[in-house]
Structure 1
Amino acid sequence: MNWGSLASTLLGALIGIASTLTADRVRARRSRDESDQVARRQLYGEYLAALARTRNHLRIAARSAETPAAERARMAGEAFRDGNAYELRYQVAMVAPAEVVDASTAAFRALRDVRDVVESGSLHREESYLELRDRWEERFAELRAAMRDDVQRNGG
Structure 2
Amino acid sequence: AKNITGRMQWSAIVATALGTVLGVVSTLVADRIRWRRDTAERDRDALRTVFMEYLTALTQARDAFSRAEPRPERVSKGHVVLGEHGVYAAQQQLELVAQRPVVERAGRATLSVLDFHDVVVAGHEPDSVEYVRSWRAAREARSVLIEEMKAALRRT
TM-score (norm 1): 0.77
The answer to whether the 8 A contact 1:124-1:130 is kept is no
Equivalence map 1:24-103=2 (5 Å): 24-61=31-68, 64-65=69-70, 69-70=72-73, 72=74, 76-103=78-105
The answer to whether the 8 A contact 1:57-1:76 is kept is no
Offset of 1:69 from its aligned partner?
Answer: 4.2
Question: CA, structure 1 residues 77+108, in 2 after alignment: closer, same or farther (shift >3 Å)?
Answer: closer
Q: Does 2:20 correspond to 1:7?
A: no
Higher mean C-alpha deviation, range 72-81 or range 128-137: 72-81
Percentage identity across paired residues of the two chains = 29
- Aligned residue type for 1:105: G
CA RMSD after TM alignment: 2.6
Higher mean C-alpha deviation, range 14-23 or range 108-117: 108-117
Give the corresponding residue for 2:149. Answer: 147
Give the corresponding residue for 2:113. Answer: 111
Taking the aligned partners of 1:77 and 1:149, their CA distance within structure 2 comes to: 28
Question: CA, structure 1 residues 24+45, in 2 after alignment: closer, same or farther (shift >3 Å)?
Answer: same
Give the corresponding residue for 1:123. Answer: 123
Alignment gaps of 5+ in structure 2: 1-5
The answer to whether the 8 A contact 1:53-1:83 is kept is yes
Taking the aligned partners of 2:19 and 2:91, their CA distance within structure 1 comes to: 52
Question: CA, structure 1 residues 115+41, in 2 after alignment: closer, same or farther (shift >3 Å)?
Answer: same
Post-superposition Cα deviations, 1:86-140, rounded to whole Å, max 9, x if no partner, equal: 121122223223332222121112223334555xx50242655544333222111
The answer to whether the 8 A contact 1:123-1:129 is kept is no
TM-score (norm 2): 0.77
Post-superposition Cα deviations, 1:18-48, rounded to whole Å, max 9, x if no partner, equal: 1001100100111111111122112211111
Taking the aligned partners of 2:67 and 2:80, their CA distance within structure 1 comes to: 12
Post-superposition Cα deviations, 1:44-99, rounded to whole Å, max 9, x if no partner, equal: 111111000111122222xx24xx544x5698454211111112112222322333
Taking the aligned partners of 1:112 and 1:76, their CA distance within structure 2 comes to: 6
- Aligned residue type for 1:25: R
Structure number with larger C-alpha Rg: 2
